[in-house]
Amino acid sequence: MTAAWRPAPGPVVCLGETMAALAPDPPRPLADAGQLRLSVAGAESNVAMYLADHGVPARWLSAVGDDPLGRRVRAAVAAAGVDVTHVRTDPHRPTGLLLKNPGPSGTRVHYYRSGSAASALGPGLLDGEPLGSAALLHLTGITPALSASCRALVTRALDPPAAERPYAVSFDVNHRAALWPEGTAPTVLRALADRADIVFVGLDEAQELWGGDLTVTGLRDLLPGPRIVVVKDGARAATALTANGACTVPALRTAVVEPVGAGDAFAAGFLAGLLRAEPLPRALRLGHLTAVSALKVTGDHGPLPEAADIARLLELPDRDWRREGSGTVRS
């Protein structure tokens, strides 16, 4: 059996929009809310912050408006230990905004990001630093939905064959139906995902995009190009599909405060494991452990479990992983 592929160790660049976020505090439908809490929300910066929590050098690459919300966003991401040196300030476009609307059936998100500073990003962002010294570039399917220039940016990043790219590329499908013209997302996202080195996708998300009868292993046939396809099956399990076959690790059972951000946390934990040259089962476990951090908070970024908990849980025998892990994770 050939050795599993790993990206080279080194800095990770996470490229994409981060917005200011308003949510009712305490959580309740917006129509009934007495006050709102201001935070920040962005899939790619979430990954960067959790990578930094794991000790992986992380850089966030984006643009914000020359406004108080933009300064708040930049400061919040930097406070998590992420390098924001290359985030641009756009004097002509605003920082994007989202509103969370909790309800009995889940949390709906309302976006106010059309014409935002980040929507004007383009392919030139890939030239020079911080990409010149990166080991890994992390992208999501949100960015190509923001504008024609953002789609050109992601397309250019993925156009060169993997062997010719100076860094590995990970791509979280992260389908946001509200951002796409009807009927366009399935073809575009499949083409982009198939050119990445590492792909993250939810099974339900893949079924919505590419067919309700898709299975975990069927996704490997749909996306033959990536070196690793990670399929997240909700609260049940996550599977990494490689040239060596499939590796599945059950998810941890935990009380869910809010699921938003858990997928980003999982991706960061898994990538941190790969960059530390962990075997796939341990990288998947680290993804699950990091996801717990997001599930336990109302914001997108929560504190990691204690280092001693992480180290012990990574060492558990398979039979004890989910049973014991569910009761011993503290955050």
* DSSP letter assigned to residue 129: T
**C-beta neighbour count of 80 within 10 angstroms:** 19
* Short-list 213, 261, 214, CA closest to 241: 214
Give the HSE-up count for residue 85: Cα atoms under 13 Å, Cβ half-sphere.
7
Alpha-carbon dihedral 141, 72, 52, 50, rounded to 10 degrees: -50
**Alpha-carbon span 114 to 95, nearest angstrom:** 10
Beta carbons of 287 and 266 less than 8 angstroms apart:
yes
Phi, psi of 39 (to 5 degrees): -145, -165
Tokens of 99: 């509103």
3-class DSSP string for 234-276: CCCEEEEEECCEEEEEECCCCCCCCCCCHHHHHHHHHHHHHHC
Tokens of 261: 């951000």
Q: Which H or E element spans position 133?
A: none
Catalytic residue among 83, 90, 264, 300: 264
Q: Does 264 participate in catalysis according to the annotation?
A: yes
3-class DSSP string for 16-71: CCCEEEEEECCCCCHHHCCCEEEEEECHHHHHHHHHHHCCCCEEEECEEECCHHHH
Active site residues: 264
